[in-house]
Amino acid sequence: MDTQVLVYIVVGATFALYIGIAIWSRAGSTSEYYVASKGVHPIANGMATGADWMSAASFISMAGIISFVGRDGSVYLMGWTGGYVLLAMCLAPYLRKFGKFTVPEFVGERYYSQAARMVAVVCVIFISFTYVAGQMRGVGIVFSRYLEVDINLGVMIGMGIVFIYAVLGGMKGITYTQVAQYCVMILAYMIPAIFISILVTGNPIPQIGFGDTVQGTDTYLLDKLNQISIDLGFAEYTSGSKSTIDTFAITLALMVGTAGLPHVIVRFFTVPKVSDARLSAGWALLFIAILYTTAPAVASFARLNLVQTVNNAEYQQLPGWFQNWENAGLLAWQDKNGDGKIQYSAGAPFAGKPDFAADQRGASGERALTNAPTESANELYVDRDIMVLANPEIAQLPGWVVALIAAGGLAAALSTAAGLLLVISTSISHDLLKSNLMPNISEKQELLAARIAAAAAIAIAGYFGINPPGFVAQVVAFAFGLAAASFFPAIIMGIFYKRMNKEGAIAGMLTGLIFTFSYIVYFKFVNPAANTPEHWWFGISPEGIGTLGMVFNFVVSTVVAKMTAEPPAHIQELVEDIRVPRGAVSPVAGH
């Protein structure tokens, strides 16, 4: 059967499954819409959390970045995985015991302030829209290549699918849809990885194949990649170009950002008991580790296969996958020396102005992209986000594997997008309207408001998907930085520091959010020419600046708290009670 037909069948079947689950589990109350009535089994919640967290950045872009930058890409692996350990140990059980619907609700109750709650709502919206931009770009990339539609139309189709199961099912529908999406996602990631590991190294376990020798040689995979990189003018694959402080800052920002992401935290409000929150985090870490320990191997296999397939190859003899990705606008070649061969080397592609339009082909069949970087003699442009998706085609795997990877990429992007959009809608309906502007609305009206807010959020997310501000993983890294600088200190001190008051929390959240957001906007949008290590504060890049924003948050909030009145006695008792296991005797509350 033709690969394209298989793609339509597999993707169509998964979409039908998601929509069917949404209809079956349609939310009929605010409790079902916000937290699935707190009745989700820990294993199911662990799977749903894994799908919620393993976004398009994890599935599509993380291995793509590692394949191009080598060791520097390890910050994503270390930061995101370490963050989950932090979340399981320091946040999940305490937030579940508190027992509210949303993170802003926790902030508002803990800091006895509607102003604090509103600041938290603003933080949620900033973080979630920044994060969801990466997901919608991932949706567009998969649709544009595999369903052969324009990338903008692909984003719109993805919006429609998310609208159906997020608006209809709420947290209940999203949870069980995400369980299905996790299964699709992990199969789609692991099956090609196992196939390619066998082809490249002869070892069926990708994690072991990553450190094995290349098939038919005595050369280790990483040694071969190092030599190929040097031959092409790149740095060694296993060397790093980032400074130690920037590596540390990015890793820490991703780590604490994970623990502060509102759409991940809310997942632990959906289980029946406090102990189930810890179990959920443990299961989620196990399910996530399957993909995360495989990603470095996938990145290395993809890099080796790409270079060996395209470098010095005649365009007319390349397999069909190359032109397919050209047609999607994510791969391009311009024959600068007129020899009909693809020269892939260090530097940005397409020196000078392309001598033909982006939608035309040159004499040798080559195509240039007008939005690709310039000022180098490199002839090939490769979008990093295609590496995982194109890998099965480059390795010439069967059509059903290619179809499966398409379904997996969509599952990754849609599952996280749905979780984010739900957080946005609940923050608006529950924290903004019900708790502030319209306290007398009925439950039915609140549920309607949540669905309308979700629809509006989907429309805005679609705009970001059509006009993305960067590679998927980079955009997501900014969201983690914002979460690290705003939410994490307020939540961690809200649980473990009785003296923290509303004035300190508000001042800290605003300081961290404004500083981090301003730093990112300045270097990425206002003055991108200055986005170099010599201009960064303390040598910390925009991807890692959330760490500095977090430090500012901790310092400002602590100083302001010390200079203002203590929290009321009942709030301090509440903090003590949150930390005491159920059934134990609280030293303050006396139960």
List, for residues 14-51, the tens digit of each pLDDT value: 878 877 777 776 655 555 555 555 667 788 888 888 87
339 in helix, strand or coil?
coil
The CATH number for 3-302+398-467, chosen from 3.40.640.10, 1.10.357.10, 1.10.4160.10, 3.20.20.30, is 1.10.4160.10
pLDDT for residue 386: 83
Tell me what the mean pLDDT of segment 403-409 comes to. 85
Q: What's the pLDDT band for 591 if we cut at 50, 70, 90?
A: very low
The residues spanned by each domain of the chain are 3-302+398-467, 312-392
Q: Which of 145-149, 248-252, 468-472, 557-561 has the lowest mean pLDDT?
A: 468-472
Cα–Cα distance for residue pair 163/456, rounded to 1 Å? 10
pTM of the model: 0.77
Among residues 556, 480, 547, 548, which one has the least CA distance to residue 511?
556
Residue 381's CB is within 10 A of a number of other CB atoms, namely: 21
DSSP 8-state class, residue 378? B
**286 vs 1, residue with greater confidence:** 286
pLDDT for residue 438: 74
Cα–Cα distance for residue pair 112/506, rounded to 1 Å? 11
As to burial, measured by CB atoms within 10 angstroms (0-12 exposed, 13-18 middle, 19+ buried), residue 63 is buried
Residues 6+ apart with CB under 8 A from 59: 138, 185, 189, 291, 388, 408, 409, 411, 412, 413
Beta strand 380-382 pairing with 331-333:
antiparallel
Residues 6+ apart with CB under 8 A from 210: 221, 222, 296, 297, 300
Q: What's the pLDDT band for 517 if we cut at 50, 70, 90?
A: confident
Q: Which of 179-183, 278-282, 290-294 has the lowest mean pLDDT?
A: 278-282
pLDDT for residue 586: 43
The pLDDT mean for the chain works out to 79
Tell me what the mean pLDDT of segment 62-67 comes to. 86
**Are the CB atoms for 443 and 29 separated by under 8 Å?**
yes
SS3 readout for 185-251:
HHHHHHHHHHHHHHHHHCCCCHHHHCCCECCCCCCEHHHHHHHHHHHCCCCCCCCCCCCHHHHHHHH
Among residues 489, 4, 529, 12, which one has the least CA distance to residue 252?
489
Side chain identity, residue 338: G
- Segment (H or E) for 486: helix 472-496
Tell me what the mean pLDDT of segment 259-280 comes to. 72
Residue 220 has pLDDT above 60, yes or no: yes
Cα–Cα distance for residue pair 591/249, rounded to 1 Å? 42
